[in-house]
Amino acid sequence: MNPLLQVQDLVVEFPTRRGTLRALDRISFDIAPGEILGVVGESGAGKSLTGAAIIGLLEPPGRIASGQVLLEGERIDNLPFERMRHIRGRRIGAIFQDPLTSLNPLYTIGRQLEETIRAHLPVERAEARRRAIALLEETGIAAADERIDHYPHQFSGGMRQRVVIALALAAEPQLVVADEPTTALDVSIQAQIIQLLKRICRERGAAVMLITHDMGVIAETCDRVAVMYAGRLAEIGPVHEVIHQPAHPYTMGLMASIPDMEGERERLNQIDGAMPRLNAIPSGCAYNPRCPRAFERCTHERPELLNAGATRAACWLHDAHAEVPG
């Protein structure tokens, strides 16, 4: 199956008075139709920035310096603003972290859904309203024919997030970029939203890029996972393999820091140090100052993604042609 989305050697930079900061450094991955790809990492790893670059919402002075983004084989990262505006919403939907700021408090839910539908699909107002009610029902809003005329403040946080998902799906997009869609919700509502995303994607055949820092959400939702560190991909592969047999020392550290539900560990492991600032990215592997298995080569030569069993990891430990210290 041909990939729906292809990101190839994507570089995002921010020019400043003290020089240019490279926030994303040669990011490459793809997503197939109907697939959910999780993107995980610490705060500052570049997860949300990757999503913003894909949908053309980089905040100035941020810019795509090189690389490309292709949707069904068509390059979209260099399109004029108006052309990209029509792709956003119609072919790419977006779900953001805070549902309250994603909705206009002055307009009813129905008006926002209907305007989105009519902006992208050739339907009359009555048909747009019918579709809006159907979307609210599909996303689990009870009494949708009544609630459609309510304002955002009349909904709970979980219900607002369902409305935001309905908005993202309103024009039947092929790809949904979901940026921390469950972070502001309690655990029970999180589970409902996760199941909703999975069901809708399977039924509609839409691909999803799910950005989160929660490995539990990744494990429950995704088919594959990409682990990011300092604007680079550290590891990418099937969720089960990455979680149970992590190949990159950073992924190992993330997994070791998750509480054990069986209570066998009295103390959680932690990754020493902190994510480097953009103006102080170490040479070689960006993770080398924090890595317990780093050796001399890691300090001056950057690893590309290497085959590591069922996954691929940017780590010299998996270079089959090199001598690695024990």
Cβ–Cβ under 8 Å, residues 186 and 143: no
pLDDT at 128: 94
**Residue 304's pLDDT is what?**
93
Give the residues across from 69 on adjacent strands. 7
Domain ranges of the chain: 40-57+80-283
Q: Is 276 exposed, middle or buried (0-12, 13-18, 19+ CB in 10 A)?
A: middle
The predicted pLDDT at position 98 comes to: 77
Among candidate residues 241, 259, 263, the one with its CA nearest the CA of residue 313: 241
Note down pLDDT in tens along the chain; length 326 residues: 789 999 999 999 999 998 899 999 999 999 999 899 999 988 889 999 999 999 999 988 999 999 999 999 999 999 998 899 889 888 999 988 777 788 999 999 999 999 999 988 999 999 999 999 999 998 888 899 999 999 999 998 888 988 998 998 888 899 999 998 877 677 777 787 788 888 877 888 889 999 988 888 888 889 999 999 999 999 999 999 999 999 999 999 888 877 766 666 667 778 888 899 998 999 999 999 999 999 999 999 999 999 998 899 999 999 866 666 65
Using the Cα atoms of residue 200, residue 202, residue 205 and residue 211 in order, give the sign of their dihedral: positive
Domain 40-57+80-283 maps to which CATH number in 3.40.50.1000, 3.20.20.150, 3.40.50.150, 3.40.50.300?
Answer: 3.40.50.300
Between CA 304 and CA 312, with CA 309 as vertex, the angle to 5 degrees is 25
What is the per-residue pLDDT for 138? 85
R_g over Cα of the chain: 21
Distance CA 274, CA 259 (A): 20
158-193 b/e (C-beta count within 10 Å ≥ 16 → b): bbbbbbbbbbbbbbebbbbbbbbbbebbeeebbebb
- Calpha distance 241→135 (Å, rounded): 35
Q: Single out the residue of 49, 4, 56 nearest to residue 29, CA to CA.
A: 4
Amino acid at 104: N
Cα–Cα separations (whole angstroms), residue 219 to 37, 67, 224, 255, 279: 11, 30, 9, 11, 33
